[in-house]
Amino acid sequence: MSYESFETVKVAVDGPIAVVTISREKALNALSSVVIAELTNIVGELELSNDVLAVILTGAGEKSFVAGADIAEMVDMTPVQARAFAEMGGALGNAIESSDKPWIAAVNGYAFGGGCELALACDFIYASDQASFGQPEVKLGVIPGFGGTQRLARRVGVAKCKELCMTGDTIKAPEALRIGLVDAVWPHIELQGRVRELATRIAANGPLAVAEVKRLVHQGQSASLEHALALEQRSFGLLFGTADQREGMTAFLAKPRRAAQFKGQ
């Protein structure tokens, strides 16, 4: 599968890992409608790949992951156009969140506004020690439109979400780690290698099982505990009908024990 036709996003596939890089370095990788559309298409294409088992999302250059949505494009939008733009960003976030693949945000710099929201749609957020985060939309007279008021609250709690979204303050990576916005902070030079190592560990596992974990955790957040546990038990049973389960357990019991060769079947 070729990903060379995209204007603002680059995709590099290395074995089971795809690295998706937003490539508008001069604009600090701001999310224009073109970037959003291309990212959405890429999510769909990667979803169809049986070879890609984990995705790393990052920004080009040393300064910015995504510095926000493209204000130059937004400034003259009508209310109808602005809602359509928010719906585009929302659809992208939903596509990443509902993907069977684990998506890992490697935040290498600024993650403001839409950039923070894009990271929040991913399964994991890992940050460089040079990264910073924020939802500064109120300073422009608007609010987050790509899921910030909702996913951020689920990440850091309601009060902290209100504080960040109402003040528009930005925070450095250590503070983002302290409040639970990010999962780890590493030295800038180590970020990509550390994230790739994590992605490789995930990709070595049964892809059907990994996808089911992601689906169940998301579904369970909006369900009662009783219903969520029933969903888990159902999925546990269904996975015993897969070739991956037979391969995984056979490899575990082999003498000597061997690494399982999963095929996503």
CA distance 149 to 89: 14
Question: Given 73, 137, 175, 197, which residue is catalytic?
Answer: 137
Of 117, 125, 50, residue with least CA distance to 88: 117
Catalytic residue flag (residue 247): no
Q: Is the dihedral of CA 229, 233, 238, 243 positive or negative?
A: positive
CB 48 within 8 A of CB 83: no
Question: Given 117, 175, 212, 232, which residue is catalytic?
Answer: 117
Catalytic residue flag (residue 117): yes
Collapsing DSSP to helix, strand or coil, 105 comes out as strand
User: Token pair 């290395």 is at which residue?
Assistant: 14
CA distance 235 to 134: 37
Of 249, 243, 253, 258, residue with least CA distance to 207: 243
CB 181 within 8 A of CB 119: no
CA distance 62 to 53: 26
Active-site positions read 117, 137
